[in-house]
């Protein structure tokens, strides 16, 4: 016969606890990976924010009823703002430092920027003088009054600084950093450089030779990012190249000739030499200059320092991302 006391003790024993398997939510799995927000989503979110912000900003600038040059400057500021805002938002989502995206504030306008500016002006000067030696370029004479040389020189220097910042960050800042997390650096560099070249086809007077040169220059800028660790060299190079081409040597830049240029210079000869409507960037000599610049830079800066491994590591304080699942 069963013992009543034994039955009582058996009934009073606590039931065993079984821990339910904890599975991440679907949203977490879809959007988050080992390094936080997945690279593809980060890139898509950046583009989805950048394009409408740029379009709205440029439209507002165009409707400002200011003089043409000031309107152009406002439009470039709009592009720069549109490039920065999505990165600031995603920086908070990804819990990464701003410096990871290529423009560390502590190195702003430091040595790398000024060295890049020297390289950029030297590069476009070599190109123009080579065209001169082949009888495809004539310097003409100074057409600005003395009081306007400084005025327009400074204006275009500032304009192309904004252009350099906007285009370098939009095409090689957050975008290259994020694509590198997904497909490695050089595939990301090639993809964004091709896009950089294609965007230039929107310029009036641009042709496929100029777009190809822009892509090649963009790829060189990716090399400078790889070897210096930041975009500051590229920003300086970009700004000085455009300033030298548009203002100092007064030739078309990607199909556009800037008002307020210094010289009455002219291009004459076959399109393969002069670049035709594109200007020197459409010349076959431009590709020679890019190749020589690439070789010289590779010799001067032989070691890859970007991206730093810690920049891709998931921050310990992030918990992964702001896109947390409720557990």
pLDDT exceeds 50 at position 317: no
- Judged on CB neighbours under 10 Å (0-12, 13-18, 19+), 125 is middle
Q: What is the DSSP letter of 267?
A: E
pLDDT digits (tens, 9 = 90+) for 119-137: 999 999 999 999 999 999 9
> What is d(CA 276, CA 182) in angstroms, rounded to the nearest whole number?
39
Distances (CA, A) of 151 to 148, 196, 327: 5, 31, 62
Mean pLDDT of the chain: 88
Instruction: Say if CB 311 and CB 100 are below 8 A apart.
Output: yes
What pLDDT shows up at residue 325?
32
| Location of structure tokens 């970007």 | 306
Percentage with pLDDT > 70 across the chain? 83
Q: Determine the average pLDDT of the residues in 70-86.
A: 96
Closest by Cα among 169, 168, 161, 217 to 194: 217
Question: Which structure tokens are listed for 151?
Answer: 């005025």
> What is d(CA 189, CA 31) in angstroms, rounded to the nearest whole number?
24
pLDDT digits (tens, 9 = 90+) for 14-55: 555 554 445 666 556 666 666 668 888 999 999 999 999 999
Distance of CA 174 to the CA centre of its chain: 7
Strand partners, 138: 266
Q: Which H, E and C letters describe 109-141, residue by residue?
A: CCHHHHHHHHHHHHHHHHHHHHHHHCCCEECCC
Closest by Cα among 239, 219, 197 to 294: 219
Distances (CA, A) of 130 to 134, 136, 243, 273, 307: 6, 9, 18, 10, 36
Helix ranges, 185-260 (H): 185-200, 208-228, 232-243
CB atoms within 10 A of CB 235: 31
Percentage with pLDDT > 90 across the chain? 76
Instruction: Say if CB 44 and CB 180 are below 8 A apart.
Output: no
Q: Identify the band that residue 72 occupies on the pLDDT scale cut at 50, 70 and 90.
A: very high
| Location of structure tokens 């394009």 | 51
- Judged on CB neighbours under 10 Å (0-12, 13-18, 19+), 311 is middle
Q: Determine the average pLDDT of the residues in 51-75.
A: 94
Instruction: Say if CB 236 and CB 183 are below 8 A apart.
Output: no
- Judged on CB neighbours under 10 Å (0-12, 13-18, 19+), 267 is buried
Instruction: Say if CB 135 and CB 283 are below 8 A apart.
Output: no
pTM, to two decimals: 0.86
> What is d(CA 292, CA 217) in angstroms, rounded to the nearest whole number?
12
Instruction: Say if CB 196 and CB 218 are below 8 A apart.
Output: yes
> What is d(CA 181, CA 94) in angstroms, rounded to the nearest whole number?
13
CB atoms within 10 A of CB 63: 9
What pLDDT shows up at residue 257?
87
Question: Which structure tokens are listed for 1?
Answer: 């016969």
CB atoms within 10 A of CB 52: 10
DSSP string, 14-37: PPPP-PPP----HHHHHHEETTEE
pLDDT exceeds 50 at position 320: no
What pLDDT shows up at residue 12?
54
């Amino acid at each position: 016969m069963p013992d009543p006391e034994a039955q009582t003790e058996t009934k009073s024993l606590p039931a065993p606890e079984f821990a339910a398997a904890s599975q991440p939510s679907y949203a977490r799995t879809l959007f988050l990976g080992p390094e936080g927000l997945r690279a593809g989503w980060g890139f898509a979110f950046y583009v989805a924010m950048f394009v409408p912000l740029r379009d709205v900003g440029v439209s507002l600038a165009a409707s400002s009823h200011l003089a043409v040059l000031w309107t152009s400057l406002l439009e470039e500021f709009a592009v720069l703002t549109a490039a920065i805002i999505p990165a600031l938002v995603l920086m908070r989502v990804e819990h990464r430092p701003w410096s990871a995206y290529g423009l560390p504030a502590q190195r702003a306008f430091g040595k790398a920027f000024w060295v890049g500016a020297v390289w950029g002006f030297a590069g476009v000067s070599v190109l123009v003088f080579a065209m001169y030696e082949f009888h495809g370029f004539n310097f003409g004479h100074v057409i600005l009054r003395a009081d306007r040389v400084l005025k327009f020189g400074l204006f275009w220097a500032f304009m192309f600084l904004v252009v350099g910042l906007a285009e370098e960050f939009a095409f090689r800042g957050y975008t290259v950093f994020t694509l590198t997390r997904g497909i490695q650096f050089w595939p990301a560099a090639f993809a964004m450089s091709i896009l950089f070249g294609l965007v230039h086809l929107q310029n009036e007077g641009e042709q496929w030779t100029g777009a190809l040169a822009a892509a090649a220059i963009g790829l060189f800028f990716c090399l400078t990012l790889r070897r210096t660790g930041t975009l500051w060299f590229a920003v300086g190079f970009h700004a000085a190249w455009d300033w030298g081409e548009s203002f100092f040597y007064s030739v078309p830049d990607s199909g556009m000739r800037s008002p307020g240029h210094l010289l009455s210079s002219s291009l004459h000869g076959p399109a393969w030499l002069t670049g035709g409507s594109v200007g020197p960037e459409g010349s076959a000599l431009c590709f020679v200059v890019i190749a020589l610049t690439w070789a010289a830079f590779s010799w001067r800066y032989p070691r890859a320092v970007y991206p730093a491994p810690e920049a891709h590591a998931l921050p310990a304080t992030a918990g992964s991302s702001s896109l947390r699942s409720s557990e």
